[in-house]
Structure 1
Amino acid sequence: MTLRNLFFSAMAGLVMAGSAVAEPQPLDRIAVLVNDGVVLESEITSRMANIKASAIKSGQALPSDAALRVQITDRLINESLQLQMAERMGMVISDIQLDQTLENMAREQNITLADLKAKVEADGENYAQYRESVRREIILGQVQRVQVQRRIQVSPQEIETLVKMIEDQGLKEAEFKIGHILIEVTNNDAKSVEKARGQAEKVLGLLEGGADFAKTAISASAGPKALEGGDWGWMNINAMPTLFAELVRSGKKGDIIGPVKSAAGFHIIKVEDTRGQQTQEVQELHSRHILLKPSPILSEDMAQKMLADWMAQVRSGDADFAELAKEHSDDPGSAIKGGDLGWADPSIYVPAFESALANLKPGEYSQPFRSTHGWHVVQLLERRTTDTTQQMNSDRAYQLIFRRKFNEQATAWQQEMRAKAYIEMVE
């Protein structure tokens, strides 16, 4: 054999040996096509790992990996559709907004932002990825609010009826901790309905036989809280979806109710717990603020600096807060009143604004801070504790009706979005 032939034989052998030793491995793959987006296998795997870790920490039982994967994939499809909608709407959460949210999250836990980062990393998470997951949750929440709120109408008659009910009950109303399982009816033909009914009866039998409700919900439910074990948390009966309210009105702790048919399918409700609620006094705050909304002309840094400069002038006596608000504030409702927001329950404000007020004493001004609306400075004028008034009852009635309708419309919106979407599972 010639030297040339020996050389090529050796090279071929090396190539073959290399191929046998190290075949290329895919780094990731597409699991689901969702309109113009995708759900990656790595997203499903990561979400499964997080849920399993959380379940181990809380001592919660989980269903099989196959059942858990179905629930996670379904959730990621919904999130992908919402994120695509947010992108079309031009919805962006800046780093400054994100940092403000993280600071608020840390403050709620009575720790610093540095402590929060250390806590996240101690749990084995990457802090940069954690930040992006928070940004994602903010966007999901905002796009849902924008899309669902426009579908909700609350009439004066509804408010009046509920106000009378609140007054009749003397503000002593029951709250229920609700567990929910939905057996979905995909096609509203007789065969599909009977099949779903049979499955619902089987699930009910398992629950009555002592099966864990949360584990059963994760594996069997098609409801919006399935991955949370069907847990809807504590709800006033007037804030529940109408179906829930009708079923649990006379329910007792431990009752399992259903299956009950609706347009979506068959529902099984468990009354996990009950408690009484009595509201006698409300702490209200009187405040005023100046708002600047960043734009292509007004940058984030410039808005923050302008507010800081104005406040230096106010503190030195060279400028008047009310006049600055009238001239510069981007909140038209309060600007004409010198930034005055009047008396209000602080819970009506966005978290960053509520948090800023909570840290002030009467007469004090805040430092410039960022909320979802823009950059603010706020002054706390007064605090007071007042008895519940007719206006308070009306506001409360509106919020209760709004939350009930919001839950109903959010589910309907997601179902409509799914129905219009192109979704393909990639084998």
Structure 2
Amino acid sequence: MKKLLACVLAGALMTVSVQAQQVQPIDGIAVVVDEDVILQSELDRAVANIRAQYAQSSQQLPPENVLERQVAERLVLLKLQVARARDTGVRVSDQEVDQTVAAIAAQNGATVEQLSGQLASQGTSLSEFRDSIRDELLVQRLRQRFAQTQVSVTEAEVDAALESQQAAGGQYRLAHILVGVPEAATPEQIQTAQSKIEGVKSLIDRGEMDFAAAAARYSDSPNALDGGDLGWRSAGEIPSAFAQLVRNMQPGEISDPIRGPSGFQLLQVVDVRDPAEATEGGMVTQYQASHILIRVDDTTSADEAKARADTLHARLQGGAEFAALAAEHSQDPSSSARGGDLGWFTRDQFGPDFGGQVAALSDGEVSAPFRTQAGWHIVRRTGTRQSDAGTDNLRAQARESIGQRKLEDEWDRFLREMRGEAFVDFRGEGEQPGAATETPADND
């Protein structure tokens, strides 16, 4: 829950600045995004928020036009994701927004009324903050739905990842700096990109800038303002072209420039750990179950999905075979081919709502239809066992890591396609945000 609230709050602050009172709102359109717009005041508040985050190290930020480009692109993607979420039937109720706002206030040691006063003193209304929270929840649910429909992890992939971890002996937390090269780049464009990445490496080597600051200032990657952080990866989850290089690097070490499919990169090994360090021993309860899922989406309303689930439940009560109905009707592609079989899992592996329903059943019992964010489920619990947490946590960690890597790859591709298909018109005066650039030589 804390991680979820942190993600929601961080996203909301992209459009609701903690220093909004220092920005003079401008009545004008900064960017047109399909049928929506980003106001200049929105962009200014988002830029001000980034500057507030870097208040103690403002010299690490790129020049104003480059920073504005990065922030504008983030806002464009946010608008596109919110629109896609709404178009595909994703909804967030007022009650859910109220609960999230209350939780954020509580985490900051305040009541909602006190939070409202703090926002007002900073030039932001509670209504604007609520709208930002709603947008971030919509995007999170869109991403969750995307993961459920587009990403699956097989047991064979988990086995292979664990074997790779044992052979490699560790997991790596990585960061990168990317200098992009366009498709069909000219020799001059390639040389310019190579010169830039070499200049960035030189700045870091001379101690003039640390890696995270250089990523924020010079990287073309979407995670530039996050210091280029790529998270934890096992050796099997690192592209083969880089895997041997990473295995030979020490924590804190930075690679020489590497040419990849997207351009030139610098890789940093931030830290290394033994996978066992992230697990805890002891025994845990595991459940074996099968399910039938009817999704709620742009073609199926919540009421329609429930009606279909109720019909299937009635057929089960009448003696229909669970596996046959799951194979024919379940909309979970990762389990329907196996008659809905989910294998063995811990209570929270598929989320607390789903796990709570499974835990309440007896072995052999079939649930009534129930709702989660994925849609309407019917579950049949088939077994229970006690298992060693260390081994299970290793497998769960490997499964989550593989799923996250797949999700990142597919989600990035999805965002690029959505951005490429969108009509985006920058209306700002002077150089458009999309055209801004910087090289290390600009600051020498």
After TM superposition, the score normalised by the length of structure 2 is 0.64
From 193, 198, 203, the equivalent of 1:201 is 198
Shift in Å at residue 99 of structure 1?
Answer: 4.2
User: What residue number does 1:53 align with?
Assistant: 52
Select which of 260, 269, 272 maps to 2:270.
272
Query: How is 1:19-418 mapped onto 2 (pairs within 5 angstroms)?
Result: 28-56=27-55, 61-99=60-98, 101=100, 111=106, 115=110, 117=112, 120-121=115-116, 124=119, 126-147=125-146, 150-152=149-151, 158-166=157-165, 168=166, 173-187=169-183, 188-210=185-207, 211-240=209-238, 245-278=243-276, 279=279, 280-281=281-282, 283-284=284-285, 344-350=345-351, 372-373=373-374, 386-388=388-390, 396-418=397-419
Contact map agreement 2:148 2:374 (CA 8 A) in 1: no
The C-alpha deviation readout for 1:3-44, integer Å capped at 9, x for no partner, is xxxxxxxxxxxxxxxxxxxxxx99521112222322221221
Deviation at 1:199, TM superposition (A): 0.8
Kindly tell me: are residues 256 and 161 of structure 1, through their superposed partners in 2, closer, same or farther at Cα, counting changes over 3 Å?
same
Q: What is the total number of aligned residue pairs between the two structures?
A: 367
Distance 1:130 1:246, change over 3 A: farther
User: Retained in 1: the 8 A contact 2:25–2:40?
Assistant: no
**Cα deviation digits, residues 279-302 of structure 1 (max 9, x gap):** 34563365999x999997869xxx
Q: Distance in 2 between matches of 1:41 and 1:129?
A: 15
Amino acid at match of 2:417: E
C-alpha contact 2:287 2:347 (8 A) present in aligned 1:
no
8 Å contact 2:43–2:71 — kept in the other structure? yes
Give the distance between the partners of 1:242 and 1:122, measured in 2 at CA.
Answer: 53
Q: Distance in 2 between matches of 1:353 and 1:152?
A: 18
Contact 1:241 1:405 in 2 (8 A): no
| Cα distance change on mapping 1:189 and 1:326 into 2, 3 Å | farther
What is the root-mean-square deviation in Å for CA atoms of aligned residues? 5.1
Bigger CA radius of gyration: 1
Cα distance between partner residues in 1 of 2:129 and 2:245: 39
Distance 1:140 1:58, change over 3 A: farther
- Cα deviations by residue, 1:358-413 (Å, 9 ceiling, x for unpaired): xx9xxxxxxxx98524799x9xx999562555x87665544332222222222222
TM-superposed CA distance for 1:84, in Å, is 2.4
After TM superposition, the score normalised by the length of structure 1 is 0.66
Q: What CA distance in whole angstroms lies between the structure 2 residues aligned with 1:57 and 1:91? A: 39
Which residue is 2:367 aligned to? none
Percent of aligned positions with the same letter in both sequences? 29
User: Whole-Å Cα distance in 2 between the matches of residues 119 and 244 of structure 1?
Assistant: 50
Question: Do the aligned partners of residues 43 and 407 (structure 1) sit closer, same or farther apart at CA in structure 2, a change above 3 Å counting?
Answer: same
Partners of 1:96 and 1:370 within 8 A in 2: no
For 1:12, the equivalent position in structure 2 comes to none
Could you give the per-residue CA deviations for residues 165-221 of structure 1, whole angstroms, max 9, x where no partner exists? 35x45xx95233322211111242322111111111111111111112222212211
- Contact residue 98 and residue 135 of structure 1 kept, 8 A: yes
Residue pair 1:149, 1:406 contacting (<8 A) in 2 also: no
Cα 1:138/1:297, change in 2 over 3 Å: closer
Structure 1, unpaired ranges of 5+: 1-24, 300-321, 334-339, 361-368
Range moving further from structure 2, 275-284 or 64-73: 275-284
Name the SS for the 1:50 alignment partner: helix
- Give the aligned residue type for 2:350: Y
The verdict on how the C-alpha distance between 1:161 and 1:30 changes in structure 2, with shifts beyond 3 A counting, is same
Return the letter of the residue paired with 2:204.
L
